[in-house]
């Protein structure tokens, strides 16, 4: 498993628990909102969200259930899940890759010595879409990758209608992808991973205790929020 340096602020609860009067007891102890790495116990929830998000649009899932379990076993530290009251609402799954461009092997392999994170999938539960959770989780994930000492860039492949969404997260077009799935074609995009994770305690937009996001969302962002 990859060594993680200074990454804890990016996988802590995203909101402080509200103060409770001495005479009022909380009915549960789950944090209102938290981000953490995924594990194999999350696999079914991951696949259900992914299947609903992608099958209706493209007819294909980026990862099948056995592949979800495969990557959450080999490299759980390259995944990130957003939970509300203990319920998974959004997630990212990645693995390491060791070539300049993606090939069909990148869909199923994890290369521990690679310096590129291949982002296989970002998906948001249908109930929580149009709330900016996709861009927020991606921003947080990219900052988290800056804490991993051997990672130099992130890559993904997407259909053309998603290019504006990923551009707003800082990705750049690399070119047409050599991979095709059924009749679907893709564009490769990349994001440079360098420097230190960006942290600021005060935000005018969304206040997290350790890691706020200050990117304002526009109507265009909401339309392609995944």
- Of 38, 88, 122, 213, the active-site residue reads 122
> Is 110 among the catalytic positions?
no
- Of 38, 102, 144, 166, the active-site residue reads 166
Rounded Cα distance between 63 and 145, Å, is 21
CB-CB neighbours of 218 under 10 Å: 10
Which CATH fold topology does 33-153 show?
A: Aminopeptidase (3.40.630)
| Distances, alpha carbon 114 to alpha carbons 31, 91, 95, 161, in Å | 34, 22, 9, 29
Residue 71 has pLDDT above 90, yes or no: yes
Rounded Cα distance between 45 and 66, Å, is 13
Q: Mean pLDDT score of the chain, rounded to an integer?
A: 81
What digits encode the pLDDT tens for the residues 118-171? Answer: 999 999 999 998 899 999 999 999 999 999 999 999 999 999 999 999 999 999
> Is 191 among the catalytic positions?
no
Averaged pLDDT, 179-192: 93
Residue 178 has pLDDT above 60, yes or no: yes
- Of 45, 79, 95, 169, the active-site residue reads 95
* Contact between 141 and 117 (Cβ < 8 Å): no
| Strand duo 116-124 + 87-97: pairing | antiparallel
> Is 109 among the catalytic positions?
yes
* Contact between 53 and 129 (Cβ < 8 Å): no
- Of 38, 70, 96, 120, the active-site residue reads 120
Q: Is the pTM of this model over 0.85?
A: no
């Amino acid at each position: 498993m990859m060594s993680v340096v200074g990454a804890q602020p990016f996988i802590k609860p995203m909101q402080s628990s509200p103060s409770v009067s001495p005479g009022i007891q909380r009915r549960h102890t789950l944090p209102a909102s938290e981000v953490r790495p995924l594990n194999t116990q999350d696999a079914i929830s991951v696949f259900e969200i992914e299947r609903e998000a992608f099958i209706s649009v493209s007819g294909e899932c980026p990862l099948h259930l056995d592949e979800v379990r495969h990557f959450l076993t080999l490299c759980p530290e390259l995944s990130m899940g957003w939970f509300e009251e203990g319920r998974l609402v959004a997630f990212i799954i990645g693995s390491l890759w060791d070539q300049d461009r993606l090939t069909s092997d990148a869909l199923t392999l994890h290369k521990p010595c690679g310096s590129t994170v291949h982002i296989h999938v970002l998906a948001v539960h249908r109930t929580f879409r149009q709330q900016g959770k996709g861009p927020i989780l991606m921003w947080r994930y990219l900052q988290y990758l800056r804490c991993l000492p051997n990672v130099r860039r992130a890559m993904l492949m997407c259909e053309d209608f998603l290019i504006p969404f990923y551009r707003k997260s800082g990705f750049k077009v690399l070119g047409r992808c050599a991979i095709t799935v059924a009749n679907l074609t893709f564009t490769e995009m990349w994001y440079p991973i360098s420097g230190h994770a960006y942290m600021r305690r005060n935000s005018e937009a969304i206040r997290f205790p350790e890691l706020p996001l200050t990117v304002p969302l526009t109507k265009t962002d909401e339309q392609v929020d995944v």
